[in-house]
Structure 1
Amino acid sequence: MAGFIERGASWSALAYGPGFAVLGYLAELLTGTTHAIAWVIVGLGLATITAPWVYARRRFLTVQVTDDELWQGRERLPLDQIAEVDDVGAPTGARVLGGGWTVPGKYDTLPVRLTDDTVVLAWAKDAGALRTALHERLVT
């Protein structure tokens, strides 16, 4: 059975800075004056400041469903604690999974009822796919 995973960011974002630097260098080639060392520094600098951003997004915004756990950022919830994922209402003040105060921006909310009858808020960019993956794990 395939698992569900949404990464918070892709490491390919590190290529944007050097790519921009290459385009800048090529544009300078058209003018006749080039600053190759400066463009290398710009490319490395942009990649360097992008790396912590990608790392943080991958650490805190990754959503994954394994055979026995739902991972939401830094938090892991055993699947045997989940009672229901369909037709669960989201009460005001429900706890957000993953350690944050609110659901991350650009992510959809999926209310989940736990076995102790509390409701928590799971989140994913594709909440429907998350619901399907959780439902498959709970039924089997």
Structure 2
Amino acid sequence: MTAATVLFAEPGARWRVVSYGPILCLAILVLEFVTGSSVHWFALLFCSALIAGFVALQVFAGKRHVSVELTPATLRSGTESLPLTSIAQVLPERDEQSFDDELWESARALGELTGVPRRRTGIGLRLADATLVQAWAKDHQALRAALTAAVRRGENGADG
């Protein structure tokens, strides 16, 4: 397995959403043309460009700050990369029946955001220096499985 092999990835955002606003404006333009009412060329073109511009900024930020990638050597969460060799343990999932929070739930989230991004779920990690951090993903179960397997492979490779 090479370092370029991707074991898990979430893009954070997709560029296709930039087209949704202009497509809606085009549909309104066609509707105005078909119904014979006055066609608002400039307003629809302006709104289309404005919407696409704002959404493009959001997609750029999402791709930079909310994307996740796991390779056999590193875990990248947003802008922060963590070597897998520095991960001692992937901690168990939160017990939904318990009223008490797990210690890792208040740990620092990886990346430069202040916490786990919206619509993502944290995964507790114990690092080699005994500190706790949170990795995160939308599909947290798939990331947990891939991360657990990658950390185990690294431990077995270090022993052998």
Q: Same fold (TM over 0.5)?
A: yes
Equivalent residue number for residue 121 of structure 2? 108
Q: Distance in 1 between matches of 2:140 and 2:106?
A: 20
Name whichever of 79-88 and 55-64 sits farther off. 79-88
Q: Deviations over 1:42-84 (max 9, x none)?
A: 2122111211111001100001101211001111100000111
| Identity among equivalent pairs (%) | 36
Q: Deviations over 1:12-69 (max 9, x none)?
A: 0110111111111022123312123332222122111211111001100001101211
Q: Which runs of 5+ in 2 are unaligned?
A: 95-101, 154-160
Match for 2:57 among 26, 31, 52?
52
Matched residue SS, 1:64: strand
Q: Which runs of 5+ in 1 are unaligned?
A: none
List structure 1 segments (4+ residues) > 3 angstroms apart after TM superposition: none
Correspondence 1:96 to 2:100: no
What is the TM-score when the length of structure 1 is the normalising length?
A: 0.90
Q: Which residue identity lines up with residue 15 of structure 1 in the other structure? A: S
Measured after TM superposition, the shift of residue 93 of structure 1 is 3.7
CA 1:74 to 1:30, structure 2 compared with 1: closer, same or farther past 3 Å?
Answer: same
Name whichever of 83-92 and 36-45 sits farther off. 83-92
Q: Distance in 2 between matches of 1:45 and 1:64?
A: 31
CA contact (8 A) 1:88 1:113 kept: no
Q: CA RMSD in A?
A: 1.7
Q: How does 1:1-140 map to 2 (within 5 A)?
A: 2-32=6-36, 33-87=38-92, 90-91=102-103, 93-140=106-153
Q: Distance in 2 between matches of 1:49 and 1:105?
A: 19
Measured after TM superposition, the shift of residue 2 of structure 1 is 4.7
Q: Distance in 1 between matches of 2:72 and 2:12?
A: 21
CA contact (8 A) 2:91 2:123 kept: no
